[in-house]
Structures are given as structure tokens and as C-alpha cells.
Structure 1
Amino acid sequence: MPLLLLDAVLAVLTAICALTSLASVGAPLTWDGTIPVAIALGLLLLARRRGPVVVLALSAAVLLGAQYGGLFEGGVIWPMTVAVFTAGLANLPWTAAICVLTLAAAVAPTMELARGGAELLWLALVLALAHGYRQHLRWRAEHEARLREAAGTRLAEQRLQIARELHDVVAHTLTVVGLHLNVAAEADSLPEAKGAIRVASDVRKKAMADLRSLIGVLRDVSGEPQPELSSIADLVARAREAGLDVTLDEGGDPTEVPAAQAMAAFRIVQEAMTNALKHSDARRLLVHLDYSSNQVRVEVVDDGTGPVSYTEGHGLTGMRERVTALGGWLEIEAGDGFAVRAGLPV
């Protein structure tokens, strides 16, 4: 319901309530008596959102003015219910003070303590409801703020994960393509050069498919599966085509490995291979995967013959964060060659 329409409905109900209440204490329902009072109380509510405390004070003044003007006897504050509730949401102390003063002024001329006690209980109930509803609104606002913050955090994590995926795909692909283009540039025969270029083209096509898959995750329209443990065989084949002697050793049942651990294992092998391909002195590469009931163990070691220095860039940092997020461990050794060992709890 629109707010203006709601205020109009409350204004009409308040006017009716005022007429009924005043009639119950003997006030005449005339145009020069209680009807203007009821209309005034209703019209004031149309401004309750802009100045709730002011509207409450004016409503109290209208009722007290009518009483002291001789229209009726006895404290009647029921028509102020909506104004009291609205003002209580905005400023509870001021509202309570106005209500107490109004009740005291309304009861004083007649000393009807019983009527004053009943209306005091009603005012207390309305103020308690206002206070409870205000607390609910505050809790809901804080809850929604926490939800927005959590959504923003999840979005940032997803973007970071996608950035890592893009880095892994592009870095690995460019390394392989660069090696094959170098082979093509240095080849002595045309068939050898064509073969290297063909392999580079195939790798590029696969990388484009991977990139489309990652972008599809952003758009949520991609049906392509994420890399799995079975995709490691493709990495091995590419590394062999690039000139590395790769040995793939697998133990255990890969079908029992959860998707998160499978993705992490694939990316660890991919990043380790990328680093191995960058070592001009590396000729052999061992990839060992062990799938046990409680852990996926990944080990990638090359046979570089000279000391290797490295800096943890996006690839290695992303690898370490993947493993840490899954509660696992990661060891990177750079001495005579390059070694990556990781354990991923299942």
C-alpha cells in the first residue's frame, strides 16, 4: 500500500475513533463541537512522517483544548494512539513526556483516577509496541547490512577466484605457445616449423575455450565443465609436446575426490608445469598424484640442473591461497630444479 494512502486510511480511522470516544463521554456530535476536533486529529496524521513529535504535541493540544473548552469532561486520549505510536518510533523520551503531561492535564479537572489509570496503561502499551517495533527495524537494518557486506565479500572472492583462473589459463598457455613459436623460429626444416606452429595453434584454441568457460561463469550461461583430475592428462600431453619428458604417476581412486579438491589439484599441477617450462635446463618432470580416503597429495618435481630463484607472483600466491582455503598444506622448493608438494584434505 502506498504510504500516502496508508496515512489517509489512518487519518479516517482516527477521526472515527475520536468521534466514538468523545460521544462515549457525552460530547455532542455537532459541526460546532466534536466533528471539527475529529477532523483536525485526522488531518494532523497526514504530516506524521515529517514531524511525528510535533504532530503528537498538536494532537494533545487539540484534545485538551476541546476538553477545557467545555465540549466534554474526563480525559480521553484514545484518538492520539496513531500519533503516539509514530512519535514513539522517532523519539521515545519526548513522546513519553508529552503523553504523561497530556494525561495529567486531562485527568486533573475531573480527578477520575480510574479512567486515568486505564489510559495510562494504554499509553504504556502503545509506547512499548513502538519501542519493540523500532528495535525490530534496527535489527532488520543491521541484518540487511550484514547480508550486503557478506554478498560483497562473496562477490570479491568470486572475482579473485576468476582472476586466478584466468591467470592460470593464460600463463600456462602463453608459456607453451611461446616455446613452440621459438621452436618454429629456430627450426631448420619447414615440416618441423609447421608442426610446432600447429601445436601452438591447438593450445591457443584450448585456452580460448577455457577463457570462454570462465567468462561464462560470470554470466552464468556456460555449460562447459570445470577442469577435473582427468584434465591433467591434457596438461601432460601439452608439456610433452613442448619438449619435456613427463611422467604421470597416479594412485588411488580419483572418482572419490570432491570437486573443490580436484580443481585445486589441477591448478597446482598446471602452475607447477608452467614454472617447469620456464626453466631452460629442465628436461624431465614427475607428476605424482595420490588419492587416499582422507587426502589428495600432489607432487610436481622437475630435474633442473642449476639453482632456481623464484618470486611468488599471482600463480604461486593463488596456488597457496587455494590450498589454504581447503585447509591443506603446500611446500615449494627451489634449488636444483623446482618442486611443488601439496596435501588437500578430503
Structure 2
Amino acid sequence: MGTIRVRRALLVDLASALLTGVGVAAGPAVTGAPLLWHGAFALGVLLGGLLLARRRRPLLVLVLSAGVLIGYQSSGLFEGGWVWPLSAALFTAALTRPGWAVTVGALTLAYGLGQQGLDAPEALARGGVELLWLALVLAAASATRQYGRWRAEHRARLLQLEQTRLAEQRLHISREVHDVVAHTLAVVGVHLNVAVAVLDDSPEEARAALNTAIAVRNQAARDLKAFVGELRDTPQQGLESIADLVAQARAAGLEVRYQPEGDLAAVPAAQALTAYRVVQEAVINTLRHSDAGRLTIKVQATACDLVVNVVDDGSATADYTAGHGLTGMRERVTAVGGTLRIEAGSGFAVQTVLPLTAYMSGLAS
């Protein structure tokens, strides 16, 4: 990309030099003046050649070009205008040094009008035309500067948006990995504790607990694989996956009552995934921080909202702290315009309301 940009700039410089050289050389001939090799032609070559250095030394090129033009005009070797031969040099200098470009252009024009000894009406007419051309060149340079600033600001905004999008993606990935890993560790931990406790007295029960832990571990591996697939635009978990969470909680020894209501298949993917993660985090907290024996999960889809309630009957959750899981749960719910309420005391209760119609209309707008 850098090489292409350099080549493009070189082609523009060559074109500017060629056009200036041809224009200055042929300009006087258009008005009937003789075309002299040591006059207009030589001036065109000099002004065009100077333009090849206009990007590195724009102000110096303008001053030298003005000096050369004044010299040729004063010696009678060139009878064209005082501003238009300097158009490219004026434009380039005005991009970075607009004040100096105005000064050099105005002084050159004033000197030229003073040297020609014109009467007032003719000087006013010729000066007006030259001044108008100078204003047009400077206005074009000003517009180009403004466009350059706008492009720079636009690129900065795009970069900021891209950085924000990447940060959101990293946050999303961290939430997904936390949800899968935390849930797996919680369930596997429960079954390992059971296996250790009954290993001597009931090897069969210990073996069953270990088999369940292995099954949960395998499910976690599948979940992580599915999540990686999601990054490649494959489907992710939804409300139908809550049944797996229920089975795992029951296998961990909880009495679970699951109540799905409404048309859950019609729930949009964003709300479905959010609801699944809320239930998953609630189950994790019950297994980790509660002495609960019973867990109730209710998921209800109405015409306007998706309501999720998860309640256990534990008694050791009053002093809970909002860690990464609960914080991520709240962020997920907020991201889709929902509300989240958590109560801890005589049990752990999570209630989430995720709007459906308002969210979808917001996306459409």
C-alpha cells in the first residue's frame, strides 16, 4: 500500500509538472504572442521542473517559482499572467502554509501590476481577473485541507469503533469461557466430593459420581467447541439447552423443577442465549454457594417479554458477593435491554425480564 501511494504521488507530480510546462509554454501563443524557446518554453520547463520538489519544499518551490516568473516578465521574455503560471505551486503551498501562500501570491500580483504601468481601469480589470484566479486556487486548497481533516477524523472514528468492537468481542469471549468453565468446575466438584465421601463404603456410587463428572467434562468440551464454532458464525446455545442444565443439576443431587411456558422456539437468538446463560449462572451459584436441595427454574415467553425465574431453597447465600459470573450476567441482560433482580437470604433467587417486541423494534429502527 505504501509503494502504491508513493507511485501515485509521483504520477501526480509528473502530471502537474507537465501540465504547467505545457500551459505556460503554450499560453502566450493562444493570445497571438510569439513562442520563443528562450522565453515561454524555457519558463514552462523551469516552473514544471520546480514542481517536482513541491511536496518536500512547498513554500520554497512557490518562492522560487514566483522569482523566476517575475524575472521572465520583467525581462519581456514572457507576457502571460502573474498568477495562473503559479497555480500548482500556490495550491501546494496553501495546503500547509496558507498564510504564506496568500502573501507570496498577493505580492507577486501587486509587483506585476505595478511594473506594467497600466492605467487605473485596465489595472483594475486585469488585477480583478488575476485576483479572482488567486482566490479560486486558495479556495480549492482550503477545501482540500478541510477534506483531509475530515478524512483523518473519519479514520480515527472508524479506528475507535473497531477498537470498541474488539473490546466487546473480548468481553463476550471472556463471558462465554467463564460460563462454560465455571459451570463445569462446579458440577464436577460436587461429584468428586461425592465420590471421595462414598469411595470406601459404596464404590458403585463413587463410580457413578465419577462417570457423571466425566460426562459433564465432555459436555463442557462440546460447549467450548460450539463456542469456537459460534465465532465462525455457527449456531449457539438457546432455550432448548436448559434441559441439559436441569439434567446436570439433578445428577449433582438437586431436586429440580423446570417449568417452560409459552412459545420458546419463537424467542430471538440474543434473548435465548442470554436466558440460557442466566439459568446456567444461577445453577452454578446454587451448587457452589448454597446448601439447597431443591431448585425451581421457570422460563415464560409472553407476547412482550421473556421472563426467567430461578429459585433455590438454600440458606447460606446471604453474604454472597457479585463476582465475574453475576457481573457478566447483569451485563448480558442489560445488553438486550432487560432487567435483572437477585435476592439472597433464605435462598438464592434470580429474576430476569428480557423484552422481546421493544428490542426487536429497536433493532429495526
Return the letter of the residue paired with 1:202.
A
TM-score by length of 1: 0.94
Residue 120, structure 1, aligned to residue 126, structure 2: no
* 1:240–1:263 CA distance, 2 compared to 1 (3 A): same
**Contact 2:301/2:307 (8 A) holds in 1:** yes
Specify the alignment match of 1:191 in structure 2.
204
In structure 1, what is the Cα distance between the partners aligned to 2:32 and 2:115? 16
1:1-346 map, 5 Å: 2-24=8-30, 28-73=34-79, 75-110=81-116, 111=118, 112-113=122-123, 114-187=125-198, 188-218=201-231, 220=232, 223=234, 225-279=235-289, 281-306=291-316, 308-346=318-356
For 1:256 and 1:201, locate their aligned partners in 2 and report how far apart those are by CA, in whole Å: 34
Count of aligned pairs: 343
Contact kept, 8 Å, 2:340 with 2:352, in 1: the verdict is: yes
Q: Which moved more, 1:298-307 or 1:26-35?
A: 26-35
| Letter aligned with residue 154 of structure 1 | R
Which moves more between the two structures, 177-186 or 70-79? 70-79
Over residues 39-97 of structure 1, what are the superposed CA-to-partner deviations in whole Å (9 max), with x where a residue is unaligned? Answer: 11011111111121221121111111101122134644322111111112112222111
Seq. identity, %: 55
For structure 2, list consecutive stretches of 5 or more residues without a partner in the other structure. Answer: 1-6, 357-365
What is aligned with 2:362? Answer: none
- 2:95 and 2:335 map into 1 onto residues whose CA distance is 45
**Matched position secondary structure for 1:236:** helix
Conserved? CA contact 2:82–2:108, under 8 Å:
no
CA-to-partner distance for each residue in 1:69-128, whole Å, 9 max, x for gaps?
A: 221346443221111111121122221111111111112222242222212111111111
Structure 1 residues 24 and 77 mapped into 2: Cα distance closer, same or farther (>3 Å)?
farther
Consecutive unaligned residues in structure 1, runs of 5 or more: none
Structure 2 CA distance, aligned partners of 1:137 and 1:3? 15
Measured in 1, the distance between the counterparts of 2:98 and 2:83 equals 18
Distance across 2 between alignment mates of 1:82 and 1:42: 9
Q: Which amino acid aligns with 2:264?
A: P
Contact 2:289–2:317 under 8 Å retained in 1: no
Shift of 1:256: 2.2
One-letter code aligned to 1:91: R
